[in-house]
Chain A
């Protein structure tokens, strides 16, 4: 059934720079000197290590246990010795360090015993989810949402359409494009498995119209029940809400999930890794990464997770140059990296070496509305900026600041060069911090009440038995009388004893 496509509001026509790397075959990146695996490479609770420093691990062996429902296990990318479990810099805007497992490869790259499941169709969906979860598969599109959670949502409510998202709208990035061209069978098989897991009525694979080879590769293998669609190339067509609007015309409810309108979306790379997990039992230990921009030999690499970024860059001929900056991800949503020692994680899809953006002076906002025209979520960026700038966080929430997907279109077109996305990130993190502070305050008040109550209780207990002494404020005179009286009483008692035996001396 040919679905006619819809348009989404705003968006940008960017020149894609994809031709640099989209026709070069992806090569396998050799073993790096050290593998650094952060325990938290997904949205959710970090996993817990189950091995100790000094253990010898095999390739694919589970080295960290999932900790809670929204969490996934971690697997060793190669065989080697665990040399450290400690704090190392991880991909984060401020390069904070987080606990990581560091493995020193021994070069044998020996697989541990893996247990493939046979005919996936006969296996009931619930068991399929456990397999996917145990192989540590998250969304590889860039968000890093644990795949089994989405599948589980799929089982609980009726899934109308499963969309496999091969739309790479960010410039420079071609890792999904190469993956489809080289491993189209993995993708199609993986799609059928996910479809079986969520029992979706329709199934769609979406590709951008400037990826013709990928389209042909899929068209050959696609059976009749999977719909293959070419989506017009327009940034940010690849984002979940926009792609759903383009394909189905439905809008994901504001602040809600796609599942609420019966749609589940997975990335092409996730589908491929699901295929490998189910049929061959291989956990997610490597992925395609595009190395592009100002390097001699830009191309796609199949990289083991945990390889330091500098390693991949050196493989493509990169020499450090201070007016170049390294960006993890695309130019529109990527993260600036100053310390290239950080490892490649499950959500890294591209390493871009770009000329540093010249320092542009931020002018005041002239409310020209250019950002309103390009915002794909139909927000009002200039009002959000106005409230974020003046710390008016309730107003910012009233203008739906949490719906912003930080795609960067507004900052791209702003004539005053305002870093709008940074203002929105500031506002969002400030609101989250405010909520944490408030919870902390309530917690502190509760403890303070308990403290006061216990304090009063102690006082009450003290003052019951020694009314005067316990009461610190009673005036000194009352205390003196009490003491004199006590002394008199003791003297009398002593006096009585003395008068009995030596009555005479008592006079």
Chain B
């Protein structure tokens, strides 16, 4: 009689895919986006990525020690690195170092390890961290660089480094001479604070300006924000690569972008002056990043094929509602978290029809 525990069950072959290889490929898909980001907004993003990955690994190791799980297996599964990267991409490159520390800690501890580590968390850790930080430090989060190229003086290394590590809260309204090696003074109000096109669009609309006038402002490129459209385009490429590599199913990104596109198109027809064009919505803010990388996080998204379609529509619609009527400029992060809390309900009612079921 063979001892029960060491009976090997039937499929004796495996196609060799592992969790860490999946996560690695997700990071690869993120690289084009990060490069574009680097090109337009300077090395701020790279520092933020380093910071958040470092913090994430420390916290992950700490939590695994607390849950006395073997570090060797779980630290290499790369899920903490992906969470950290996504988090760094959502916050502003100029945000101080302790922002990414608090965000990553909150995300990983409360949204992931408290539920039992990888696979059990209903909420996406990166988004939870981002929203926690957004709600706690709204001023700092609206503090974006300008898409003026890598080597422009306001984006170069020394400036961003001192901003991240030493600066207290920079007062955007004053025009302060920041040039260390006394190059030209920046005095344009927006140059320092620099709102994303979305925030800028929303503030102007609320002050009853026409969209056509808003678009004339220097920060708008042809269909999104000047730098932003290319970054979103890079994320789009990364996302399509992931679908091709069969890491994520096409259902969620297509439904998210589709529903966002349709609703904005409907409203755009209704009144072009108040409601921005669908392309603008798609290629601005975190839409592409969220649609391809955050919404499709397999652990927190819905698993049934039909459930994913409903999940995607919910994200698209809520994002549009929050963006246009809500207080927060980029509502897609909230939309993902709301949809995450609805996932158990969706999964319960979208059970697949089994073969031969009437």
Contact = CB atoms under 8 A, between A and B. Distances in A.
Contacts of B325: none
Given A251-B356, A399-B351, A366 B10 contact: no
Interface of A: 8-9, 14, 93-97, 241, 245, 251-256, 325, 327, 331-336, 338, 354, 357, 360-361, 363-370, 372-373, 376-380, 382-383, 399-400, 403, 406, 408, 411-417, 419, 421-422, 425
Nearest to B251: A369
Contacts of A331: 11-13
B73 A335 contact: no
B118 interface: yes
Contacts of A93: 2, 7, 9
What secondary structure prevails in chain B residues at the interface with A? loop
A194 B222 CA distance: 73
A94 B4 contact: yes
A51 B298 CA distance: 62
Contacts of A95: 1-2
Interface stretch (B15-23, B60-68, B139-147, B260-268): B15-23
B88 to A, nearest CB: 21
B18 A415 contact: yes
B299 interface: yes
State which size class the interface on B falls in: 35 or more
Interface in B1-44: 1-2, 4, 7-15, 17-19, 21-22
A36 to B, nearest CB: 17
Contacts of A414: 14, 17
Given A361-B73, A406-B10, A417-B18, 8 more contacts: A254-B354, A332-B10, A363-B73, A365-B119, A380-B351, A383-B351, A415-B21, A415-B22
A332 B9 CA distance: 10
A325 B6 CA distance: 13
Contact of B2 (A8, A255, A338, A412): A338
A334 B8 CA distance: 10
A163 to B, nearest CB: 16
Contacts of A252: 355-356
B190 interface: no
B355 A412 contact: no
Contact of A366 (B73, B298, B304): B298
B120 A369 contact: no
Interface centre among B19, B79, B247 (most CB of A within 10 A): B19
Interface string B130-170: 00000000000000000000000000000000000000000
A372 B308 CA distance: 13
Given A357-B14, A379-B352, A421 B22 contact: no
Given A366-B19, A369-B249, A377 B7 contact: no
Contacts of A334: 10, 12
Given A241-B355, A253-B358, A369 B118 contact: no
Given A254-B357, A357-B8, A415 B352 contact: no
B352 A94 contact: no
A408 B10 CA distance: 7
Given A366-B118, A372-B304, A376-B355, A94 B7 contact: yes
A416 B19 contact: yes
Given A94-B4, A245-B355, A383-B303, A367 B9 contact: no
26 contacts: A14-B13, A93-B9, A95-B2, A96-B1, A251-B356, A252-B356, A253-B358, A325-B8, A332-B11, A333-B10, A335-B10, A338-B2, A357-B14, A363-B73, A364-B119, A369-B308, A372-B304, A378-B353, A380-B303, A383-B303, A399-B351, A403-B356, A408-B10, A411-B9, A415-B17, A416-B19
